[in-house]
Amino acid sequence: MLLEARLQAASEPTNNAALGRCVLDALKHFDVQSVGFYWPLAGEFDARAAISIWLTGSTQREASLPIIKERGLPLEFHAWSPDTPMKIGHHKIAEPTTGRMVTPELLLVPCVGFDADGYRLGYGGGYYDRTLAGWPGAKKPITVGVAYEACRTSALKREVHDIPLDMIVTEAGLHARSVG
């Protein structure tokens, strides 16, 4: 049901234009220099245009995409720019061929669904949960879910390993997770 709602929402150009503006607003809000994002699958918002615009704002900014080295392991993030050569990796998802690992300050995380407490529903592979649980260093990245309003739910079923996101961005705006 959420996948269908997301596909429908993603087919509306006005939703995508608004979501792109809101992604840029979130990046401005957090004022980071390094962002990890995702290669879009069917129905997921394609953040590449927004990230390309964001990159032009400073030569210090850096974007990266996840690499799945092996199923069951945390994601690695490798440097990406609009002209980066790509290859097809695990799950038939495009990955940069740069080979240069990056530790992003902020992660844009795709959502199939989300709730007001900042929990997301993904595809069930656990890649982002595993990655965040094993993040290198003491400082975890800021996590920003990217979703469509049509995918908002009252409450998602949670498992002990689920980690809430810091913010959800939709075409309607920026939604900080409720606390308490």
Q: What is the pTM of this model?
A: 0.93
Q: Give 180's pLDDT tier (boundaries 50, 70, 90).
A: very low
More confident position, 42 or 147: 147
Does residue 174 contact residue 167 with C-beta atoms inside 8 Å?
A: yes
Q: Give 160's pLDDT tier (boundaries 50, 70, 90).
A: confident
What pairs with residue 144 in β-bridges?
108, 167
Q: Give 40's pLDDT tier (boundaries 50, 70, 90).
A: very high
- What letter represents residue 11's amino acid? S
What is the C-alpha separation between 46 and 40, in angstroms, rounded? 5
What is the C-alpha separation between 40 and 13, in angstroms, rounded? 16
Say if residue 47's pLDDT is above 70. Answer: yes
Query: Rounded to whole angstroms, what are the CA distances from 68 to 89, 91, 104, 152?
Result: 7, 9, 16, 28
Q: What CATH class does 2-153+172-176 carry?
A: alpha beta
Average pLDDT over residues 148-153: 95
Say if residue 85's pLDDT is above 80. Answer: yes
Predicted confidence (pLDDT) per residue in 89-134, tens digit? 988 899 999 999 999 999 999 999 999 899 998 877 788 888 988 8
What is the C-alpha separation between 79 and 35, in angstroms, rounded? 10
Name residues whose C-beta falls within 8 Å of residue 160's C-beta, 6 or more positions apart in sequence: none
What is the C-alpha separation between 23 and 153, in angstroms, rounded? 20
More confident position, 26 or 135: 26
Burial call 121-158: b when 16+ CB within 10 Å, e when fewer: bbeeeebbbebbeeeeeeeebbbbbbbbbbbbeeebee
Q: Find the range with the poorest average confidence among 30-34, 135-139, 172-176.
A: 135-139
Nearest to 146 by CA among 22, 52, 51, 35: 22
What is the C-alpha separation between 13 and 106, in angstroms, rounded? 26
Please tell me the predicted confidence (pLDDT) of residue 35: 98
Does residue 49 contact residue 33 with C-beta atoms inside 8 Å?
A: no
More confident position, 162 or 62: 62
Q: Find the range with the poorest average confidence among 2-16, 39-53, 114-128, 145-159.
A: 114-128
For 66, the enclosing helix (H) or strand (E) is: strand 62-67
Please tell me the predicted confidence (pLDDT) of residue 7: 93
Q: What are the sequence ranges of the domains in the chain?
A: 2-153+172-176
